[in-house]
């Protein structure tokens, strides 16, 4: 049995914790310093609170960092400090949506590190289609050896940053499409042609609609930093960063909308397109969600 630490137990982290436990491993995590929603989430999942990050770091064989991308460096610094205080050296799985260069910088302070990237929804042990988690780094195979129902490990080699680069590319298409969809629907609504636009789009994109854009809006507050990370990654490949700097602005606007102030589970079955309209340009919003 492997003891797996989760830092921090947001929606994705708690989902991973459930899957890790289903694989027969012990889970360590803590809600200290996080919102009351985190404590409720852990209680609902039956996961005990270890009481401190130091306790998680000291007791974990493998420590998974799952935070919003804008918090990745601070999270890594906190883990490094806890390692210093406790003398522990868990294998850190850096599973945040960040640029490859960010992973390399984090690895300088956390040398026992595997680059990871989650591609898909929060996993569940009983899911027919497991959530893919890309892995890269010298010790990636060790992580891939963990039996975790609901997760499909995909090892991309020994180069740190390869997993994150993959995530930046796939997320650019998926979240870029959703950002385009939201902009198109709002523009169509402004011109009174929403029904015609949806009917035409669904010939090529059957799932196009207000709801996927509204779901993205509930998470837009943390997608802003992810769009910036994608822009950084594309600029590092010699391409313009302007496209995804623009999408950062799109998601910043969505974060200020009525849908941006909701959780996915609180959305109506048929959201109103007007709930996607920005209520304040230039603000990134905070949303109610928590990674």
Q: What is the pLDDT of residues 147-183, one digit of tens each?
A: 999 999 999 999 999 999 999 999 999 999 999 999 9
Q: Is the pTM of this model over 0.95?
A: no
Q: Is the pLDDT of residue 67 over 90?
A: yes
Q: Is the pLDDT of residue 69 over 90?
A: yes
Q: Is the pLDDT of residue 284 over 80?
A: no
Give the mean model confidence (pLDDT) for residues 251-276. 96
pLDDT digits (tens, 9 = 90+) for 15-25: 999 999 999 99
**Angstrom distance (rounded) from CA 39 to CA 178:** 31
**Angstrom distance (rounded) from CA 55 to CA 64:** 14
Phi, psi dihedral angles at 111 (to 5 degrees): -65, -30
Strands in 91-94's sheet, in edge-to-edge order, are 26-29, 3-7, 62-65, 91-94, 113-119, 131-136, 151-155
Work out the pLDDT band at 43, boundaries 50, 70, 90: confident
**Angstrom distance (rounded) from CA 55 to CA 60:** 8
pLDDT digits (tens, 9 = 90+) for 180-218: 999 999 999 999 999 999 999 999 999 999 999 999 999
**Angstrom distance (rounded) from CA 269 to CA 107:** 43
Between 126 and 290, residue with greater pLDDT: 126
Question: Contact at 8 Å (CB) between 65 and 75?
Answer: yes
Q: How far is CA 244 from CA 17, 47, 76, 229, in A?
A: 32, 38, 25, 9
- Cα-based angle 232, 235, 241 (whole degrees, multiple of 5): 80
Q: Dihedral, CA atoms, 62, 66, 69, 73, nearest 10 degrees?
A: -40
In order of their start, the domains of the chain are: 3-157 (3.40.50.720), 164-276 (1.10.1040)
Whether the upstream peptide bond of residue 8 has omega within 30° of 0, thus cis, is: yes
How much is the pLDDT for 285? 42
Work out the pLDDT band at 111, boundaries 50, 70, 90: confident
Question: Contact at 8 Å (CB) between 79 and 92?
Answer: yes
**Angstrom distance (rounded) from CA 79 to CA 73:** 10
Beta strands in 163-207 (DSSP E): none
How much is the pLDDT for 281? 58
Work out the pLDDT band at 123, boundaries 50, 70, 90: very high
Q: Is the pLDDT of residue 233 over 50?
A: yes
Work out the pLDDT band at 288, boundaries 50, 70, 90: very low
Q: Dihedral, CA atoms, 94, 98, 100, 106, nearest 10 degrees?
A: -50
pLDDT digits (tens, 9 = 90+) for 49-63: 999 999 999 999 999
24: left (phi over 0), alpha (psi -120 to 50) or beta: left
């Amino acid at each position: 049995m492997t003891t797996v630490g989760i830092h921090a137990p947001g929606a994705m982290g708690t989902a991973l914790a459930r899957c890790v436990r289903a694989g027969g491993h012990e889970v360590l995590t803590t809600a200290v310093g996080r919102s009351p929603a985190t404590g409720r989430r852990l209680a609902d999942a039956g996961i005990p609170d270890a009481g401190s990050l130091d306790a998680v770091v000291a007791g974990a064989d493998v420590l998974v960092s799952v935070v919003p991308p804008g918090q990745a460096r601070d999270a890594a610094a906190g883990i490094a400090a806890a390692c210093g205080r406790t003398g522990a050296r868990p294998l850190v799985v850096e599973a945040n949506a960040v640029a490859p260069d960010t992973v390399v910088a984090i690895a300088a302070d956390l040398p026992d590190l595997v680059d990871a990237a989650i591609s898909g929804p929060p996993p569940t042990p009983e899911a027919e289609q497991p959530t893919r988690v890309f892995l890269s780094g010298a010790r990636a195979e060790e992580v891939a050896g963990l039996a975790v129902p609901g997760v499909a490990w995909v090892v991309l080699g020994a180069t740190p940053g390869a997993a994150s680069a993959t995530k930046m590319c796939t997320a650019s298409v998926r979240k870029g499409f959703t950002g385009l969809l939201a902009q198109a629907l709002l523009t169509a609504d402004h011109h009174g042609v929403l029904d015609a636009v949806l009917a035409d789009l669904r010939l090529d994109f059957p799932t196009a609609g207000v709801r996927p854009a509204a779901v993205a809006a509930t998470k837009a507050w943390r997608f802003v930093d992810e769009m910036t990370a994608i822009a950084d990654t594309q600029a590092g490949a010699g391409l313009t960063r302007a496209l995804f700097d623009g999408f950062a602005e799109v998601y910043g606007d969505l974060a200020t909308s009525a849908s941006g102030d909701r959780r996915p589970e609180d959305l109506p079955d048929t959201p109103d397109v007007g709930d996607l309209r920005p209520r304040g340009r230039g603000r990134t919003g905070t949303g109610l969600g928590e990674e």
